[in-house]
Amino acid sequence: MKANTPNLSNKLKTICAVALSTVALSGITTHSALADETCLSPYAPKITGQEDFVYIWTLGIEGLGDEQDKLVTVDVNPKSKTYGKVVNTLSVGGRNEAHHSGVTDDRQYLWAAGLDTNKVFVFDIHTDPAKPTLTNTITDLVAKSGGVVGPHTTYALPGRMILTGLSNNKDNGGRTGLVEYTNDGKYIDTHWMPTDSDLQGAVKTGKYADGYGYDLRVMPRNNLMLTSSFTGWSNYMMDFGKMLADPEAMKRFGNTVVQWDLHTKQPKKVFDVPGAPLEIRCAWGEKHDYCFTSTALTSKIWLIHKDKKGEWQAKDVADIGDPAKIPLPVDISIASDDKLLWANTFMDGTTRAFDITDPFKPKQVYEHKIGAQVNMVSSSWDGKRIYFTSSLLANWDKKGKDNEQFFKAYDWDGKKLNEKIAIDFTKEKLGRPHQMVFGAYQLYGGDKTTKKGKG
């Protein structure tokens, strides 16, 4: 966000209100009122004890350090001699708009995507968890997929990875699809998002079938796959202030969540979830048939849940901060016991914890300002450690003194956050830290004596 733009909050309020009015979102009011261990694919092994490392997918900055996107490894084990330190950096060449990453189903490799160049970088994180190596760069996504642009979520399915797109190579708008690859990096198939003109058998439950994409999560026991929606290349690569001043650009945001048949990859329902629903986080309890998402422009928590008839439904269940001020919710993180949901808001640099014991009635129980801006939040499986990074998008981050770029780690005692690690990525000439994934020797039969996994 542009810290040096006068009356930015007012401009956000006005333009977002115009955008929402333009698309005639019914029932939306503006009155006062989430890439972590607990969001990984259920097919991937979990680190249920102390994680050793956090791998941070980081955007390069022109004129800073080597200027390249890189995977930054931070030691986060309190028993380590290098606790709280950067122990490795691996640059990938150029600036690709580094964004999200995810592990394969054996958790031996980390796939990290670039929203601008459409490259996907595959890192070996098992041979030596402290020092990942780049083993493959996938460059054929656009050609093989038939035009999908902007790989975002890289998500493990059995023996394969499924990637969400944000855009397409025809108009650089939000129309996009899902792309499947084998774990070896070979293209399998493309599944385009349903639209008004091609619902592909899906039922449109509301006003919209916009064909936009963003995040993806699955719940295998329900044969459920969910996708959310954001905006296309023409928006996410635009200067944020310029985009805010462009009413047409502000219309180009997604308003849908799609329910898919996980096994066949066929869309089943398209839900109206207005205001750009971003990260999806699904409950872990065996009888908890629900997932959450949050909307960037309307500042709400939405519940996607199975009703008594076994049908999936979407319902807005809580506000995040004051929607009238457009705090811009970004990442959310669900606790492994399904009792707490962390929600970050970029504009005020604040994280909020919601009691979700009753998923239909989330209640805010805590808030803490992390910095001038904050984006991603990651929870350890035991819920005792919470990690934060600062960067949203290269052209959307704040300017001037509010352009804080950091990685921070906190202990959570159930009542408050206590800061343990703070690394200034600008001072260290590393770049803009975006998304995080955990690493641990325990996953690969190694230990801190050998400093390696089993290979």
What is the number of domains present in the chain?
1
Name the strand (E) or helix (H) holding 191: strand 187-192
Output DSSP code: residue 157: E
Residue 336 lies in a domain: yes
Residue 5's pLDDT band, with cuts at 50, 70 and 90, is very low
Contacts of 228 (CB under 8 A, 6+ apart): 213, 214, 215, 216, 254, 256, 257, 273, 277, 278, 279, 280, 293
User: What kind and span of H or E run contains 418?
Assistant: strand 417-424
**Among the listed residues 333, 247, 339, 351, the one whose alpha carbon sits nearest the alpha carbon of residue 293:** 333
**In terms of residue numbers, what domain contains 80?**
8-444
454 is a domain residue:
no
Phi, psi of 56 (to 5 degrees): -115, 115
pLDDT tens digits, 109-133: 999 999 999 999 999 999 999 999 9
Has residue 455 been placed in a domain? no
Does 170 reside within a domain? yes
Is residue 159 included in any domain, yes or no? yes
Could you tell me the pTM of the whole model?
A: 0.92
**C-alpha span between 300 and 283 (Å, rounded):** 18
Q: Model confidence at 445, in pLDDT bands (50, 70, 90)?
A: confident
Query: In whole angstroms, how far apart are CA 161 and each of 30, 88, 109, 183, 422?
Result: 39, 26, 11, 6, 33
DSSP character at residue 49: S
- Residue 101, domain CATH: 2.130.10.10
117 within 8 A of 97, measured Cβ to Cβ: yes
Identify whether the C-beta of residue 415 lies closer than 8 Å to the C-beta of residue 22. no
Provide the pLDDT confidence category of residue 36 given band limits of 50, 70 and 90.
low
Q: Is residue 1 part of a domain?
A: no
The pLDDT value recorded for residue 455 is 53
pLDDT digits (tens, 9 = 90+) for 295-342: 999 999 999 999 999 999 999 999 999 999 999 999 999 999 999 999
What is the DSSP secondary structure assignment for residue 270, as one 8-state letter? E
372 vs 317: CA distance, rounded Å: 27
Token representation of residue 183: 């774990």
72 lies in some domain: yes
Measured between its terminal Cα atoms, the distance across the chain in Å is 43
Contacts for 108 with CB less than 8 Å, ≥ 6 apart: 124, 125, 126, 444
- Does the residue 2 lie in any domain? no
Does residue 31 surpass a pLDDT of 80? Answer: no
